């Protein structure tokens, strides 16, 4: 893989840290800014919604720019946004800075996915996407724990200053190693870009992405109370167990990319089925400490094994005009799934069968995504068969 691809990985790492590190700093942020922990938790939701809203806006705004220029501007916004978080004097300023930072998220991964696939041979495109997303998975293993330690030891603002430094480093390596666009592309009209989003297969791909990650985050959002209240672990053990989850993320991401390069649709169907099965069996595994740890790792593996095939599927179906826009929308779809999944898990706890039922309820959602993808595949095959041979 070319060095330019690892430059994109560095940017993905920084974005991953800033998205998730706030989870470990809610108490410190709430105490410093004089807000409740639930109010501090809304900084997570605000970021996710910023990704959903910002992805189409920023992609359209940068659609006429060279892709390298777009990546550099997006990383600059990310860096400035984190610096603004570090100096935010009150809660609402911090929220605004988080949303500003989130605006760079979806388009960076969307445009970055297109750039990543352009840097490698056709049979390595999904693996290239997986390598870029490895930055996101490593952020969960190394960046988030270190950022949490930094914030707890030196104040939460120190964490955001640290991420600002990561942003500057990513900006430098992208400027140094990502090549400028060499191909002359025909200018496209905005309506042509938006028309891609009206394609059935693209819409199905986006919806499948949402459904798969609703299932993941319905469980992951509440993994700490599940492990402590149901499995019986002490609070101090949760962080080491989450390292197992992070290791599963890295492995699943790379395996999903390799398999998707060989056979995209079978990998897509298999990864969705695997995620459904892992979530379903986790219902029973959480009652055993050994099994719970194993299935936390399997959940990480199954979750990110879906990412390269889902992203590659949308890119293939959005070939030509609007590819970057569709790719960015798919990143927004992941984050929309995160937000809905957290909401669904809360509903199961407060109004449903309870905390222990979250895994099997969550399993139903990616199962719906799998059935939807299979149905779409059948429609595509019928359309091909209906075309008369020349």
d(CA 167, CA 81): 10
Nearest to 312 by CA among 271, 275, 372: 271
In this predicted structure, what is the pLDDT of residue 186?
A: 45
Domains delineated in the chain: 1-179 (1.20.1250.20), 189-390 (1.20.1250.20)
Nearest to 224 by CA among 358, 43, 351: 358
| pTM, full prediction | 0.78
Burial class (CB in 10 A: 0-12, 13-18, 19+), 105: buried
In this predicted structure, what is the pLDDT of residue 230?
A: 93
d(CA 93, CA 165): 21
For every one of its 390 residues, what pLDDT tens digit does the chain have, with 9 covering 90 and above?
A: 677 888 888 888 888 888 878 877 777 888 899 987 667 777 877 888 888 888 888 888 887 788 888 889 999 999 999 999 999 999 999 999 999 999 888 888 888 888 888 888 888 888 888 888 888 778 877 777 788 788 878 889 999 999 999 899 988 988 888 888 644 444 456 666 667 777 888 899 999 999 999 999 888 878 878 888 899 988 778 778 888 888 898 899 889 988 998 888 999 999 999 999 999 999 999 999 999 999 999 999 999 899 889 988 888 887 665 677 787 788 888 888 887 888 888 888 888 788 899 999 999 999 999 999 999 988 888 876 665 554
d(CA 294, CA 262): 28
In this predicted structure, what is the pLDDT of residue 188?
A: 53
In this predicted structure, what is the pLDDT of residue 182?
A: 45
Q: Which residue has the tokens 């049979």?
A: 123
Let me know: does 208 contact 265? Beta carbons within 8 Å: no
Provide the token pair at 7: 């430059």
d(CA 289, CA 291): 6
Provide the token pair at 295: 């299935």
d(CA 378, CA 68): 38
d(CA 273, CA 32): 44
d(CA 164, CA 85): 10
In this predicted structure, what is the pLDDT of residue 387?
A: 56
């Amino acid at each position: 893989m070319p060095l330019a691809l690892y430059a994109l990985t560095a940017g993905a790492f920084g974005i991953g840290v800033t998205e998730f590190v706030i989870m470990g700093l809610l108490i410190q942020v709430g105490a410093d800014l004089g807000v409740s922990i639930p109010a501090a938790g809304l900084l997570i939701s605000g970021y996710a919604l910023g990704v959903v809203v910002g992805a189409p806006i920023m992609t359209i705004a940068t659609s006429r720019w060279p892709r390298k220029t777009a990546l550099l501007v997006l990383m600059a916004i990310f860096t400035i946004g984190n610096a603004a978080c570090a100096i935010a004097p009150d809660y609402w300023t911090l929220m605004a800075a988080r949303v500003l930072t989130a605006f760079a998220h979806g388009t960076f991964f969307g445009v970055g996915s297109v750039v990543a696939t352009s840097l490698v041979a056709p049979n390595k495109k999904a693996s290239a996407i997986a390598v870029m997303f490895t930055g996101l998975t490593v952020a969960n293993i190394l960046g988030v724990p270190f950022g949490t330690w930094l914030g707890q030891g030196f104040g939460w603002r120190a964490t955001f200053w640290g991420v600002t430094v990561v942003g500057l480093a990513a900006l430098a390596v992208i400027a140094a190693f990502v090549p400028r666009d060499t191909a002359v592309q025909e200018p496209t009209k905005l309506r042509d870009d938006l028309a891609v989003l009206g394609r059935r297969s693209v819409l199905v791909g986006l919806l499948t992405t949402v459904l798969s990650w609703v299932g993941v985050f319905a469980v992951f959002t509440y993994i700490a109370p599940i492990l402590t209240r149901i499995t019986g672990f002490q609070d101090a053990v949760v962080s080491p167990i989450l390292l197992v989850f992070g290791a599963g993320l890295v492995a699943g991401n790379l395996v999903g990319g390799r398999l998707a390069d060989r056979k995209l649709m079978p990998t897509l169907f298999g990864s969705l089925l695997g995620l459904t099965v892992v979530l379903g069996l986790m219902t029973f595994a959480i009652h055993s400490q050994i099994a719970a740890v194993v299935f936390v790792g399997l959940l990480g593996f199954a979750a990110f094994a879906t990412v390269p095939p889902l992203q590659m599927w949308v890119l293939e179906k959005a070939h030509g005009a609007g590819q970057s826009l569709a790719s960015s929308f798919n990143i927004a779809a992941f984050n929309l799934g995160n937000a809905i999944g957290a909401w669904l898990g809360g509903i199961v706890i407060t109004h449903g069968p309870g905390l222990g039922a979250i895994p099997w309820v969550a399993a139903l959602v990616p199962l719906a995504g799998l059935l939807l993808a299979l149905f779409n595949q059948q429609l595509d095959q019928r359309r091909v068969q209906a075309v008369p041979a020349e």
